[in-house]
Amino acid sequence: MNGQKEVDYRKEKMKSRIAWGIAILFACIWLVATLVPFIFMIMNSFRKQFDMLAQGVFHFPDPWYFENYVEVATNGFFGYFFRSVIVVAISLILMLIIASCAAYPLSRMKFKMRGLIYAGIVAMMSIPMHVTLIPIFKMTTNMGMYDTLQSLIGPYVTFALPMSVFILTAFMMTIPKEVEESAEIDGCNKYRNFFSIILPLSKSGLSTLAIYNGVSMWNEFAFANTLLQTPANKTLPLALGQFKGEHAMDIPIILSVLVLSVLPMIILFIVFQDKLVKGMMAGAVKG
Amino acid sequence: MVSRKGDNVAQKNNANGLARAREKSTVKAAAVFLFPALFLIAVYMIYPIIDTFITSGYSWNGISSNKIFVGMQNWKTLLTDMTFWSSFGHNVVVMVFSILLQIPIGMLLATFLDAGGKKFNLFKVIWFLPYLMSSVAIAFLFSYALATNGGIFSSIASMIKGGKVTVDLLGRNPHALFAVIGVMAWQFTPFYMVYFIAGYGNIDTSIYEAAVIDGATRGQYLRTIAIPLLGPIFKTACTMSLIGSLKYFDMIWNMTGGGPAGGTELMATYMYKLSFQQFNMGYGSCVAAGMFLLITLIALLFQKIFVVKEDY
Amino acid sequence: MKRKFVSIILAAALTGTLLAGCGGSGSDSASTSQPAAEEAPAESDAAEETPAEEETPAAEEEASGEEAAASSTEGKNIPELTTEPLTINLWDIATEGSSKEIQEDAVQRFMADYPNITVNQVHQQNDNYKQQLIVAMSSGQAPDMYIHWGGGPMNEYYNSGFVNDLTEMFNTYDHPDFIEAAVAQSSYDGKILAIPFGGLSGCDIFYNKTIFAEVGIEVPKTIDELEAACDKLIEAGYVPFSLANGSKWTGSMYFMYLVARHSGNDEFNAAYTQENGGTFTSDAFVWAGEKIQDWVKKGYFPEGVNSLSTDDGQDRALLYDNTCAMMLHGSWQTRSIQDDNADWYKENIGVFRFPEDAEAAANGVPQNVEIGTAIGNGFSFNCWNEDGSVDQTKLDACFVLATQYFNDETYNQKQLDSNTIPSINGYEKTIEDPNMQVVAQVFFDASNVQLWYDQYLPASVTEVHKDCMTELFGLQKTPEEIGQEHDAAMQAAIAE
């Protein structure tokens, strides 16, 4: 009996070693696949266009060339950057609040329209974004908001909503209903339940959404290009246009803009990725 | 509207007073919570999509004041439009492979990180990088990486076989479509990774502790407890990948523009060309509306077929 | 731990709200601020939101400089411009570099001479320009003056009522002496619809002089000589032509020239109307298609030619790393290559015109039809009163701006300095760059300039044509099949 258990344990250990070995191998391959293109982006941003084209893009900078960054920095990059930060921050926060409000009844209340609304949300996810350009442009000009930063907030929040509600609903469904029931017995009403129990428990879902939508808002081009026209009002993805000519573009400069715009996202991710894994991790490390 | 219907239900059920009051208050609370989202969606999405359906009934170049009503003519054309249906076919191929690639790989990566804990943080950050890169950069880098001259695959093939070997991935069909699917998987897998990490994070720590006390190994815990608990999360991930790949536009537009010879043409790129480049807004809107109906239909069917146990 | 997370969210929300306050008021004040005279008008958007009929008080103040004499236009027969305040919305695609500088300078000089007129110059991105224009036009927000490339889209804008007919003004008032081809490409249905300003673009073969010298080949004069040269290059280990046909219109250049050399303009014009037996399956088209496929098989083009993109510079890269010896391309490439490396350009790059078809020449087919664009960019005007009649006041101002400030001495000299040849008679003599001299020579000697098919054909046919070019170079379809597809698309477009 005891011996049997010992063998099982050994077998299990052996198996787990092999599994880890394979996993690490796979992990390293994937690491190269994700890192290499990124490194190329950085490398090529330190070259002159001619060198890049003549030597090939997969070549170390020779010589290193820093002027691209100087040119980007002196062409109003920080203005674009700051405006993007404002729009994304406001839109993201508004969106997270509205989406979590909407997901709560869809995941944790029973009422007749629920199925229909849920289906409607799925349908809204299927809207091809380009059909909304003309109606939203008309609406924006009618509201007198054309060429202002505010004009972007409405579309940004709304286009992130269906998917966010959809995901949050799924996340809130995984919260055991006993949690809420016990609170209700304690005399909490729906509103307090939401703020004191459901919202804090959905934080991993919320942070995923913040990452997903933050990145797509940060890189959003089509609405910004349609709704803004004065350089002093434009956001970061439009800054690329400054370096793209009619017939040719200076690729290394564009890559330096892209490197500079992706850096803050990486830093934010490094800072906040911890929030993602809390919950289980606390126990897992001990185990 | 919402609250009156709820009322009726309550009365019909003729339940006791307390239940009725609860039902009523639930409906009211639901309406309050849902209002902001529904309002914004009505303004920014419902109105445009209705507008699209209306425009699909016209022959219109998109700018002229002269719109000619043609009834169902555009829809009839759409039904037999080979370009549209082959684009739809490409979309379906992209969809199937996106779900088959992005979600399992994302899941594997997440499981690996989840099991490894904090010491794998560097992996996590680097694995996430592709998702942060904008489509412009991805399109540029991969058009070089996949190029016949000095591209990664051509270079590797030349190294293995010796001598110059050309691997033409973007210039031929159907290779181009699969090359693009590969790039999409590279771009979006990191998101599903983060998504599943969050899913694992959402599982109550006590469940794992209880499992350990019961003598379960990590593998057993994952197989029998964690993954089933991720059911709803898994289903939403599939739905997102499904919808995302059916209406995909960005990177394809930048990298292949639908080429070569329509080999990577998707519904969205076809619609864009018609509406904004070929002065055919009427038919372009019809393609958009058809695309909307198809995606919604597939997504809702998927919701019905793929039933997971819901906690509520 | 939980509390920390919540507090971060709260802090973020707070900062967000604060920023919202700043951002909101900031851009509010920007959008309501009145355009002070010294403020660069391109930066101010107030004019954009105010219909021209109801002027802002600030704009009226500007009108005080009424007597300002238009110094640079003195003694010329041009329409007298209003002294009332006026705002012109202008869209161009000069987002960067010298073209931005040159075009902004023209507008600034105009506004200095007419202080009562504000030009709101917006630089749109080229990639999405057509989309932007459609969105604005369909929403009643179209600019008063906008750039386009002529061809099918110009006709479409005209038919939809977004282009003023300039024929009468053009015949009445002074304007630069545009070359004939430029006027022709600015016209449609016998009416002049645009003022060219972007200079002409020829299409010629750029070659690496060093490689030619090394292999010992002369500039070929006929297609037979060209093929002989290519064979020699292949022997010496070079790929003759650099081509990035992922962009499709690049491969089309070879096709267009072969058709033009084999049949002049006749067969294309016939096929364009599809009348009198005109078809894209006629002799010259099939011959051109077969020639290209023959060249592909012989290795005249790089492998995987359909996977390379000219937007990413992959064709220039093949020249720079000495893989390829020649490149048939638009003459703007001289500028792109110079921008990349001026020394390398001077040392290595030469140019010659597309060789002749000796056999066709013997049969009397003209060999000096050129492919390219004589107008580069044109400005069309969209000035209407609310009742639908022409807003002549504004139109006059736009006309003067486009003909006397764009296209004047100062402007053209700057264009030449940046390697662009104005499409105006006389300037070809002042070109210094030897390659550009050749380009201009070829262009001005042409009996006819055929606009790029992908701009000349109706938009729906263009799409078919571009896909066919991929299939042609990819050996996926025969020239006959491609011709039939062109015919079908052309007939459908004519039927509409």
| DSSP code per residue over chain A | -HHHHHHHHHHHHHHHHHHHHHHHHHHHHHHHHHHHHHHHHHHHTTS-HHHHHHH-SSS--SS---HHHHHHHTTTHHHHHHHHHHHHHHHHHHHHHHHHHHHHHHHH---TTHHHHHHHHHHHHT--GGGGHHHHHHHHHHTT-TTSTHHHHHHHHHHHHHHHHHHHHHHHHTS-HHHHHHHHHTT--HHHHIIIIIHHHTHHHHHHHHHHHHHHHHT--HHHHHH--SGGG--HHHHGGGGB-SS-B-HHHHHHHHHHHHHHHHHHHHHHHHHHHTTHHHHHHH-
Same domain, A24 and A89: no
- Per-residue pLDDT of C437-468, as tens digits, reads 999 989 988 888 899 999 899 888 998 999 99
For C331, the closest chain A residue by CA position comes to A247
CA distance C358 to chain A (A): 33
Nearest chain A residue to C42 by CA distance is: A230
CB atoms closer than 10 angstroms to residue C323:
15
Higher pLDDT, residue A29 or A17: A29
Same domain, A103 and A236: yes
Banded pLDDT at C225 (limits 50, 70, 90): very high
pLDDT at C15 over 70: no
Residue bearing tokens 């002749």: C356
Arithmetic mean of pLDDT, C409-435: 88
CA distance linking residue B213 with residue C18, whole number of Å: 50
Give contacts of C248 with chain B, Cβ < 8 Å. 257, 259
Rounded to the nearest integer, the mean pLDDT of chain C is 85
Q: Within 10 Å of residue B43's Cβ, how many Cβ atoms?
A: 15
Residue among C49, C125, C133, C136 nearest C87 (CA): C49
Give the tokens for residue B187.
């771009």
DSSP C36: -
Cβ–Cβ of A102/B33 closer than 8 Å?
yes
The nearest CA of chain A is from the CA of C413 a distance in Å of 20
Supply the CATH number for residue A162's domain: 1.10.3720.10
Q: What is the DSSP letter of C93?
A: -
The answer for C 102-131 residues in CB contact with B (under 8 A) is: 130-131
Q: Report the pLDDT value the prediction gives residue C9, as an integer from 0 to 100.
A: 45
Residue A284 pLDDT class (50, 70, 90 cuts): very low
Out of B138, B212, B292, closest to residue A128 by CB: B292
State the number of CA atoms in the 13 A half-sphere of A180 facing the CB: 24
> Across the interface, do C303 and B149 touch by the CB < 8 Å criterion?
yes
Give the pLDDT score at C72: 60
Contact in structure between B116 and B110 (CB atoms under 8 Å): no
Residue C194 CA to residue C169 CA, distance in Å, equals 11
Do A239 and A151 share a structural domain? yes
Whether C49 and chain A come into contact, CB under 8 Å, resolves to yes
B-chain CB neighbours of C314 within 8 Å are 143-144, 147, 149
**CB < 8 Å to C303, chain B:** 148-149, 166, 168
CA geometry: angle at B74 spanning B69 and B80, to 5°? Answer: 160
A203 at interface of C, judged by CB pairs closer than 8 A: yes
Domains of chain C listed by start with CATH number = 38-199+375-417 (3.40.190.10), 201-373+427-495 (3.40.190.10)
Q: Provide the number of structural domains found in chain A.
A: 2
Same domain, A138 and A103: yes
C32 touches A: beta carbon within 8 Å: no
CB–CB of C188/C158 below 8 Å?
A: yes
3-state DSSP assignment of residue C383: coil
Residue A264 included in any domain: no
Q: What angle do CA C124, C128, C131 make, to 5 degrees?
A: 105
Q: Is the pLDDT of residue C305 over 70?
A: yes
- Do the domain assignments include residue A70? no
Residue whose pair of structure tokens reads 């509201």 in the numeric block: A143
Q: C122 in helix, strand or coil?
A: strand
Question: Is residue A188, in this structure, part of any structural domain at all?
Answer: yes
Q: How far is CA B256 from the centre of its chain?
A: 20
The pLDDT, as a whole number, for residue C22 is 39
The per-residue pLDDT for range C19-54, each reduced to its tens digit, is 343 333 333 333 333 333 333 333 334 334 434 444
Q: How far is A153 from chain C (nearest CA, A)?
A: 11
Distance of residue A282 Cα from the nearest chain C Cα, in angstroms: 11
Q: Bigger pLDDT: C174 or B155? A: C174
Closest Cα of chain A to B29: distance in Å? 7
Contact B277 C467 (CB under 8 A): no
Q: Min CA distance, B298 vs chain C (Å)?
A: 30
* One domain for residues A84 and A177: yes
Torsion on CA atoms A259, A265, A270, A273, rounded to nearest 10 = -140
The share of chain C scoring above pLDDT 70, in percent, equals: 85
- Per-residue model confidence (pLDDT) at position A275: 65
Q: How many helices (H) and strands (E) does chain B have?
A: 16, 2
Q: Which residue has the higher pLDDT, C383 or A18?
A: C383
Interface test with chain A among C320, C345, C349, C415, by most A beta carbons within 10 Å: C320
Q: With an 8 Å Cβ cutoff, are A56 and C317 in contact?
A: yes
Report pLDDT for C126.
85
Most C CBs within 10 A among A40, A47, A48, A50, hence the mutation to make, goes to A50
The per-residue pLDDT for B134 is: 83
pLDDT band, very low/low/confident/very high, at C61 (cuts 50, 70, 90): very low
Query: What domains does chain B contain, in order, with CATH numbers?
Result: 1-46 (no CATH), 56-305 (1.10.3720.10)
Residues of chain B with pLDDT under 50: 1-6, 9-11, 310-312
Which of A53, A149, A230 minimises the CB distance to C313? A53
- Confidence at residue A186, expressed as pLDDT on a 0 to 100 scale: 66
Same domain, A90 and A194: yes
Note which residues in 142-171 of chain B have CB less than 8 A from chain A.
142, 144-145, 150, 152, 155
Domain hosting residue A123, numbered range: 77-243
- Phi, psi of A39, deg, nearest 5: -65, -40
Residue A3's pLDDT band (cuts 50, 70, 90): low
Q: Measure C343 CA to nearest chain B CA, in Å.
A: 25
Does a structural domain hold residue A260?
Answer: no
What 3-state DSSP class applies to C19? helix
Residue C424 in 3-state DSSP? strand
CB-closest option in C307, C312, C476 to B148: C307
Q: Beta strand C239-241 with C324-330: parallel, antiparallel or unpaired?
A: parallel
Residue A131 lies in a domain: yes
Q: Give the pLDDT confidence score for residue C69 in this predicted structure.
A: 43
Mean pLDDT, residues A29-37: 90
Q: How far apart are CA B17 and CA B22, in angstroms?
A: 9
Using the CB atoms, write b or e for C29-51: b if 16+ within 10 Å.
Answer: ebbeebbeeeeebbebbbbbeee
Residue B80: partners with Cβ closer than 8 Å, 6 or more residues away: none
Q: Do B138 and A98 touch (CB under 8 A)?
A: no
Distance (Å) from the alpha carbon of B90 to chain C's nearest alpha carbon: 17
Among B251, B271, B279, the strongest candidate for a mutation testing the C interface, having the largest count of C CBs within 10 A, is B279
* DSSP line for C460-475: HHHHHHHHHHHHHHTT
Query: Same domain, yes or no, for A105 and A142?
Result: yes
* A104 shares a domain with A48: no
Please give the single-letter amino acid code of residue C140.
G
Task: Give dist(CA B212, CA B269) in Å, integer.
Answer: 52
Are A83 and A188 in the same domain? yes
**Residue A5: pLDDT band with limits 50, 70, 90:** low
Q: Are residues A20 and A90 in the same domain?
A: no
Kindly give the pairing relationship between strand C145-148 and strand C86-92.
parallel
- Contact call for residues A127 and B47 (beta carbons, < 8 A): no
Q: Which of A54, A229, A244 sits opposite C126 (nearest CB)?
A: A244
- Phi-psi region at C150: left, alpha or beta (left = phi > 0; alpha = psi -120 to 50): left
Interchain CB contacts (distance < 8 Å): A and C: 140
Question: Given an 8 Å threshold on Cβ–Cβ distance, is B171 in contact with C246?
Answer: yes
A181 — pLDDT class (breaks 50, 70, 90): confident
pLDDT score at C66? 40
A268: in domain: no
ipTM above 0.90, yes or no: no
Distance CA(A77)–CA(A82), nearest Å, equals 9
Indicate left, alpha or beta for C429 from its phi (over 0: left) and psi (-120 to 50: alpha).
alpha
Phi-psi region of C419 (alpha: psi -120 to 50; beta: other; left: phi over 0): left
Q: Tell me the backbone φ, ψ of residue A235, rounded to 5 degrees.
A: -100, 175
Do A236 and A201 fall within a single domain? yes
A254–B136 C-beta distance less than 8 A: yes
Residues 297-316 of C with CB under 8 A from B: 302-309, 312, 314
Of B64, B176, B257, the CB nearest to C160: B64
Chain A residues close to B101, C-beta within 8 Å:
none
Q: Which of B6, B217, B312 sits opposite A177 (nearest CB)?
A: B312
Q: For residues B151 and C314, give the distance between their C-alpha atoms in angstroms, rounded to a whole number.
A: 11
- Cα(B53)–Cα(B61) distance, integer angstroms: 16
Predicted confidence (pLDDT) per residue in C127-168, tens digit? 889 999 999 999 888 999 999 988 889 999 999 999 999 999
Please indicate, yes or no, if residue A83 is contained in any of the structural domains. Answer: yes
Interface test with A, best of B124, B140, B270 (most A CBs within 10 A): B140
pLDDT at residue C7 in the model: 45
The yes-or-no verdict on residue C473 having pLDDT over 50 is: yes
Whether residue A227 lies inside any domain: the answer is yes
Same domain, A123 and A203: yes
| Residues whose CB is less than 8 angstroms from the CB of residue B263 and which lie 6 or more positions away in sequence, other chains included | B90, B172, B173, B174, B176, B177, B256
